[in-house]
Structure formats: structure tokens, C-alpha cells
Structure 1
Amino acid sequence: MLSIEDISSLENKVALVRVDFNVESPKDSLRIKKIIPTINLLLQKGAKVLLISHRGRPVPGDKINKDTTLKVIVSPLEKNLGQPVHFIPEFKIEEIKKTIQERDEKVFLLENLRLLVGEKENSDELAKQYASLADIYVNDAFAVCHRREASLVAITKFLPAYTGVLLLEEITNLDRAINSPNKPLVIVLGGGKAPEKFAVIKSLYNQVDKFLIGGVLGNTFLKASGMQVEDSVVDNSLIEEVTPYLKDEKIEISSDWIYDEHKRIYDIGPITITRFSMILKEAKTIIWSGPLGFFEDKRYREGSDKIANAISSNKNAFSLVGGGETTQLILENKMEDEFSFLSTGGGAMLSYLGKKEMPAINALNQ
């Protein structure tokens, strides 16, 4: 896998950079901040930079709107980058080439790729069109590397392909956490995506000392144990699979809960918080994916806040945190500098931890 750090000069070249700007609120986006080192390095090497991404879930033929346009990214990107960014609203090859060649700006952002026929289908034809716009391709979009799309996989057939600074950081830190961790290794799993989280338990079971489980997967374990969870969110498709793990010493589930008015489990309780915090205090490597409760409502936020504090206060541990909701919680608490690494990946991080195929990373290795 080649990195842009291996390139000596890109004078008078155009770098096509796949990023992930799929954010609801661009104002304080971790993903925008984390792409800056790659853009700066390419600019230092003399390149012009054409950024490409998707946002939301439009399909070809849809009208662009405030939730799917990438134009809203321009202002926060300029603020973080410290220089102007030119927005390109339409995918017209010759016009794009002319714009990049003639304008004074060094950084360009193309409108949402999901509007293009063939992007989701990993089309070679569309990838060839992408390739005609640039001299090299850079993947710096770890958060979508578990997908097989034209701007991630097919494109690597038609341009010299490199990893960006962020993608390399993501892989390096995840590998450190799971391949050569200081022990004990503790993984905290909450939030949704219960099947993906359970896949992490299965794939990393032998390496991990403790799994601390909340969220939907935690509720699923509780239901499998015979507890009446009323209308709490569970994944019934996993009941049979989690049952053999119920008495496993590596698995820690909640023993007390915070309910809403309908007796639904919305957070872990104080006894569980104390027990989980004691385990985290002794850990040397910690991976956290998913809040422990419905943290968007302050009544059900204490579990996640206290677990965040327990992890951040353990200065002897390497701590890696990922997932949109988890990083949102940390950013809201202004704690981003108190963890070893914040991953931009949610589903991608779970796929990597679950040792599932990562098509976009595999394509860079071809």
C-alpha cells in the first residue's frame, strides 16, 4: 500500500481525493478537521486537490437539497484549511478540467457523488471518468472503506492509487489496538448495529480480556437471559447466538438500569457504571464503539458520560473511540484531546474489528 508521503513531487498535477464528508452538521465535524493534513501535504508537494465525497442517501435523478449538498461543507472546510475552496456543482468533465486549470484556487470540491449513475454500482465507466480528471488518486475516507463503490474501488484500476494521512492513521491505530495491544484489552460496545457489534465479540474473543456491553446488544443479552425487557430495543435475530455467551466471564452486561416512563431500558444504572469503571481503570488498551444509553436525552446520558470519564482518566491505557454517536458525545463534552485516537469510522471500524472484507483498502493493495 503506497502512501502520499512516499511521493516526492506533484508539481502541476491534480490529486483526486476521496474523503468522507457525510455529516449532518458540518460546523464541528471531526471528519472535516481530520482531512486537513492530507490536503496540506498534497498542496506542499505542488498538487491541486479535487475532493470527492457523498452526503446523505440521494439517488441519481434526485434534486439536491440542504441535507445532501456538499456546498455546506465549503465554509467550515475553508475555515479549517485557511484558504479558499472552489465548489463545483455539476459533473461535466470538460468544464471541471477547465475550472481546475484556469482558477487560482488550489482546492476544489465536487458535488455529491451519489447523484451519479454507477457510483453505488462500482461502475468502471464512471471510474474512468473520475480518472480523466486527475493524475493520482488518494483514498482518505476510512469511514466508507467497507463499501464497494466506483470512487473507492473501481477508480484504483485507472489511476496510481495512494492512501492519505488519515486512512493510514486509522489502519495503524486499529492494528495497534487489536494486533499488539497492551493487556488487559477491554472493548466497550453500545449503541445500535447489534449484529456488527456481536461480530466484533466473535472475531476478537481470543484477544480480548473483557467486553462491556450496553445499548441494543446489551438489551438483547438481557432478553436472552430471560429478563422481561418490555418494549426495550432488542435484536431478536441474535437471541440464539448470544445465549452461549451469557455465563462467559469475558462478557459483562448491566445489572441495573434507568428506564423511561414505559419501562424501556434507556441507560445503564449506577451499580453497572461503577463496575464498568473499575474494569476500565485497570485496562491498558480500550476500544469503545457506541453510547451506553440514549445520550441525546440528558435523563439517559449519565452512563455514557461516566464511561467516557472512566476511559479518559486512565492515562496508562491506549484508548481508541469510534462511531458517529460516540464521537459526537465526546465532542459535545469537549473531551476530544483526552483519548489516544478518535476514529472517523462507525460501520467501517466495526467491519475492520470484525475482520470483515474492506474492499476499498484491498483495492489499494492490488
Structure 2
Amino acid sequence: MKTVDDLIAEGVQDRHVLLRADFNVPLDGYSITDDGRIRAALPTITKLVGAGAKLLVMAHLGRIRDPEPLGRDKRSSLAPVAGRLGQLLDQRVSLAEDVVGQSARDVAGALTAGGVAMLANVRCEPRETGSGSERDALATELAELVPGGAFVSDGFGVVHREQASVYEIARKLPAYGGDLVARETEVLRRLTGDPARPYVVILGGSKVSDKLAVLQNLLPKVDTLLVGGAMCFTFLAAEGHDVGGSKLEAEQVDTCRRLLSEYADTLVLPVDVVVADAFAADANTRTVPVTEIPEGWMGLDVGPETVRLFGEKLADAATVFWNGPMGVFEMEPFAAGTTGVAEAVADSPSFSVIGGGDSASAIRAAGLDEERFGHISTGGGASLEFLEGKDLPGIAVLEEAS
């Protein structure tokens, strides 16, 4: 794909550039609790601003259940994002009140060289996720906001979505990949190509069904696959253990049993877990072997022996990919497993890739230096789909444009 560096070499002084970023940051009320995704886009943004572009940014925030009427629900407003981006850039970032309406046209038209503005939350526009013809029409209107301009895709967290601001827009304007998208793609291709070995993957999270495709695609390719999170209890049940009141996908037990049989030397399950008598931070807790989970108690984290076991596997790794927490890390009594595994990954001599989402949040919550990891992805869903072997529409369209 052509990159933002290619665009700058062609010249962007006084030229409009439409940038798709992933600014879907977590909020507490209207305060941003983790600005990692905004910071991840800064290299591309500062390059374009420094080169004199008139930068118009598209992004989404949250899940919009009812897109109409635009702007009525402050929870969907990008105002906190525009404010934080302005602080990081040390310049004002104006925010349009709509996506392609009069306010958007006015804000885009008022941009000067080196200036930055944002459109309203693109998912407040129903056509963003509509039918193909609806998305195409919206992309045409977006392109009209930047006459003679270019499109830069730097929201890796959305490149697996066939949406107007990600896919169709790249067919309306000269299209380029931003630094983040180029780096993410390079790293994931390194994992799917010829990774240094031993290659160890850690998968956590709630459901086997959510990770089944990536499990089936990775198991023949990796040396060790460590399983944690609530999904481990379906595997433990497949081994014949009583998992008490732990989360269990009964319909996936046979699949897990088959995988355990076929990849007995590859799959590694927890040996102990932290259980609780209720799903609450103040619940009664115990640490027990996986063979002794009490009736009615639920597993909410992996135990210290499991952290030690996983750490031994990681100590010898040359390549590591991690996606999904080891437990309910948002509750302090059940955070130690995730933190312990994060520290083991950080201590590993491997090239480590953190697969976005909760894993990245857990690293920041633990206060670990991000420089201790090879790469922290901004796209949990996108990185998983890439590792499943799927084509990502937002990447494919950039490569077509090259």
C-alpha cells in the first residue's frame, strides 16, 4: 500500500486530507480514561500537520443503537476526543455538528494549512453502516468535503469493517495507509508469515465461540497455546473437570475435546484458579486446583501456579501473541492473573504482540512500560480476524489503490 510518507512526498501543503482514525476510547461519564488510541494516531497526524495539510478527521465513539437524531445523545459526542487531541497537539481542534451537513462543510472549508478539525461521530450517520449503495453515497459526500484532497486510513481498529468511512471512501479519493495501519499490518504479517520460534500464543476472554476461528487457524502453526479467561472452563469441562458455577459454553465442549485430543502437545490449560461465591468484587474467594472447584462457585481468574506455568512457557519464547485477559481484571481480587501474565510477557526475550482491546488496557492498568512489549495493537477484533486468515476490507482496498 502507499503510505502517508508517499502522500507527503507528493505534497500536501494547503491540501485537504481526510483521515480515518480509531478514537473509540473508554469514557467515565464524559472523561476519557485511556487515551492510548488517540496517542497511537499522533505520528500520522503530526506528520500531516507539519507538512501543512488541512486535516479533517473522521472517527466513531461507542455503539450507536439509534443514530437519529444526530447529536442529541452526549454519550456519542466526540467533544471529549477533540478536546484531548487538541491538548496533545497544542492547538485548537474544531468539531463539526454533523458528518456531511452544513456544519461539516463549514468546518472543512475553514481549515487552513496545518489546521485540524473533526467531523461528528460517523456512526451517528445511518449510511455509515448501511447497504452498499447507502455507504457509497455517503462516501461520495465525504469526498466532496475535501475537493482535490486525499484519504489516509489510520484506524486499524476498524479496518475489518466494510463501512463508508473505511472502505468506500478509499475508492473515492487517492488512498494511503497511515503509520499506525502500516505498522499494524507489518507486525501481523510477521506473525502469520515465518515467526521466530518457539511461537507462543495466549488467548483469554469470555467465550470459546468468539475465538474458535483463530484457535483453529493458529493451532497448526504455533508451538504452544496458553488458554486463560472464562473460555478456559469450557476446555476444563472437556477434560472432565467439574467447573462449578463457572461460565461454560456447553455447545462448545465437544469442539474443545477434539482440539485437546488433536493438539495435546500444544494446548496448555490452567492448573489452578481463583473462585468466588458471587460475581462481585467483595465476594468470598479461594484459590483452588482446577480439580477442586466447589459446587456453585465460579472461576474468575487464573491462579498463581498457572501464572508460574505460563511464565515458564513464555520465558523460552521467541515470538508471543496475546489476546484476552486471564480473568475479570476490572475487579481487583481477580486482576492478579492478567497482571502476572502481562509481567511474564514483558520479561520474555521474545518479540511480543499485544492484540488490543482488554489486553492493552490491562497492561496500562498494571502500570507496565509499553516499551517492554514489541507491539501493542490498537485493533483487537481486526488483529484476530487477520490471524484467522481473513482479508480485512480496509487493508485490501488500500492495496488495490496502490
The Cα of 1:205 is off from its aligned counterpart by: 2.2
Matches within 5 A, 1:247-326: 247=261, 248-261=264-277, 262-314=296-348, 316-326=349-359
Corresponding position of 1:124:
136
Q: Distance in 1 between matches of 2:174 and 2:250?
A: 46
Q: 1:297 and 1:94, CA in 2 relative to 1: closer, same or farther beyond 3 A?
A: closer
- Equivalent residue number for residue 4 of structure 1: 4
Q: Which residue of 1 aligns with 2:363?
A: 330
Aligned CA distance change for structure 1 residues 103 and 284 (closer, same or farther; 3 Å): closer
Unpaired runs of at least 5, structure 1: none
Give TM-score scaled by structure 2 length: 0.87
When the two structures are aligned, how many residues end up with a matched partner? 365
Residue in structure 1 matched with residue 170 of structure 2 by the alignment = 156
Q: Deviation digits for residues 326-366 of structure 1, max 9, x if unmatched? A: 11111112212221111001111111111123111111122
Unaligned 5+ segments in structure 2 are 278-295
2:67 counterpart of 1:53: no
Name the CA distance, whole Å, in 2 between partners of 1:82 and 1:235. 49
Letter in 1 for 2:202: V
Residues 25 and 34 of structure 2 are in contact (CA less than 8 Å); yes or no, is this contact kept in structure 1? no
TM-score normalised according to structure 1 size: 0.95
Q: Is the CA contact 1:93–1:133 (under 8 Å) kept in the aligned structure 2?
A: no
Indicate the residue corresponding to 1:97 in structure 2. 105
AA aligned to 2:266 is K
Bigger shift: residues 290-299 or 232-241: 232-241
In structure 2, how many angstroms separate the alpha carbons of the residues matched to 1:303 and 1:118?
42
Name the residue aligned to 2:287.
Answer: none
The one-letter amino acid paired with 2:357 is G
Counterparts of 1:306 and 1:274 in 2: how far apart (Å)? Answer: 8
| Equivalent AA in structure 2 for residue 179 of structure 1 | G
The whole-number CA distance in structure 2 between the counterparts of 1:321 and 1:207 is 18
Q: What's the offset of the Cα at 1:230?
A: 2.6
Q: Which residue of the other structure, out of 27, 35, 38, is the alignment partner of 2:41?
A: 35
How far is the alpha carbon of 1:148 from its aligned partner? Answer: 0.9
**How many angstroms apart in 2 are the aligned matches of 1:252 and 1:319?**
19
1:88 maps to which residue?
Answer: 96
Query: How far did 1:220 drift?
Result: 1.3
Contact 2:235 2:257 in 1 (8 A): yes
Report if aligned partners of 2:230, 2:327 keep a CA contact under 8 Å in 1: no
Amino acid at match of 2:91: Q
Amino acid at match of 1:19: A
Aligned runs of 1:146-225 on 2, under 5 Å? 146-225=160-239
1:52-103 CA distance string (max 9 Å, x none): 1111122321454332111111221112222221111123445433333335
Amino acid at match of 1:61: E
SS at match of 2:220: coil
Question: CA, structure 1 residues 148+82, in 2 after alignment: closer, same or farther (shift >3 Å)?
Answer: same
Q: Which stretch shows the higher mean deviation, 52-61 or 230-239?
A: 230-239
Query: What is the alpha-carbon distance in structure 2 between the residues aligned to residue 258 and residue 99 of structure 1?
Result: 53
Three-state SS of the structure 1 residue aligned to 2:352 is: strand
Cα distance in 1, alignment partners of residues 378 and 193 from structure 2: 20
